[in-house]
Structure 1
Amino acid sequence: MTDAPQRPHPTDVPAPAAAPLDVPAPVTRTSLATDVALVSTFAAFIAVCAILPAIPTPSGVPITLQTFGVILAGLVLGWRRGALAVALYLAVGLAGVPVFSGGAGGLAVLAGPTVGYLLAFPFGAALAGAFAGRALRVPVAWRYAALVGSGLAASFLTIHPAGIAGLMARLGLPFGEALAIDVVYWPGDVVKNLLAAAVALAVFRAFPDLLRTRR
Structure 2
Amino acid sequence: MIKTQNSLRRMVYAAMFGALTAIGSLIVIPLQPLPITLQTLFTGLAGVLLGGYTGALSQIVYVLLGVIGLPVFAGGKAGLGTLMGPTGGYLIGFIVAAYIIGKIVEVRKAPGFAWISLSLIVGNLVIYTLGVAQLSLVAHLSIPKALLAGVAPFLIGDLLKLVAATLIALKLRNKIQI
What is the TM-score of this pair, normalised by structure 2? 0.92
The equivalent residue for 1:147 is 116
Q: Would the alpha carbon gap of residues 150 and 135 (structure 1) be closer, same or farther in structure 2, given more than 3 Å must change? A: farther
Distance 1:171-1:164 versus aligned 2 partners, 3 A rule: same
Q: CA deviation at 1:110?
A: 2.5
Q: Which residue of 1 aligns with 2:95?
A: 122
Please name the residue that 1:40 is paired with.
15
Aligned-partner SS, 2:173: helix
SS at match of 1:55: coil
Q: Does 1:55 align with 2:29?
A: yes
CA distance, structure 2, for counterparts of residue 145 and residue 110 of structure 1 = 33
Q: Quick check: 1:136–1:147 contact (8 Å CA) kept in 2?
A: no
Name the counterpart of 1:193. 162
Unpaired segments of 5 or more residues in structure 2? Answer: none
Amino acid at match of 1:173: L
Residue equivalent to 1:83? 56
Secondary structure of the equivalent of 2:138?
helix
Contact 1:47 / 1:89 at 8 angstroms: preserved in 2? yes
In the alignment, the residues of structure 2 paired with residue 57 and residue 117 of structure 1 have an alpha-carbon distance, to the nearest angstrom, of 15
- 1:149 and 1:49 map into 2 onto residues whose CA distance is 22
Identity of aligned residues (%): 31
Cα offsets for 1:4-63 (capped at 9, x unmatched): xxxxxxxxxxxxxxxxxxxxxxx96711211111111111111111112x11223x2101
In the TM superposition, residue 197 of structure 1 has moved relative to its aligned partner by: 0.9
Cα deviation 1:136-187 (Å, max 9, x = unaligned): 545xxxx01211111111211x100111111111110011111112222122
1:58-89 deviations in Å (ceiling 9; x for gaps) = 3x210111111111100000000000000011
SS in 1 for 2:62: helix
1:162 matched to which residue of 2?
Answer: 130
Deviation, 1:189, is 1.1
Bigger Rg, which one: 1
Where relative contact order (Cα < 8 A, 6+ residues apart) is larger, the structure is 2
Q: Runs (4+) of structure 1 moved beyond 3 Å?
A: 135-138
- Where do 5+ consecutive residues of structure 1 fail to align? 1-26
* Cα drift, residue 134 of structure 1: 2.5
Which letter does structure 2 place at the counterpart of 1:75?
V
CA contact (8 A) 1:113 1:166 kept: yes
Query: How do 1:85-124 and structure 2 match up within 5 A?
Result: 85-124=58-97
User: In structure 1, how many angstroms separate the alpha carbons of the residues matched to 2:48 and 2:106?
Assistant: 8
Change (3 A) 1:86 1:57: same
Q: Give the alignment's Cα RMSD to 1 decimal.
A: 1.6
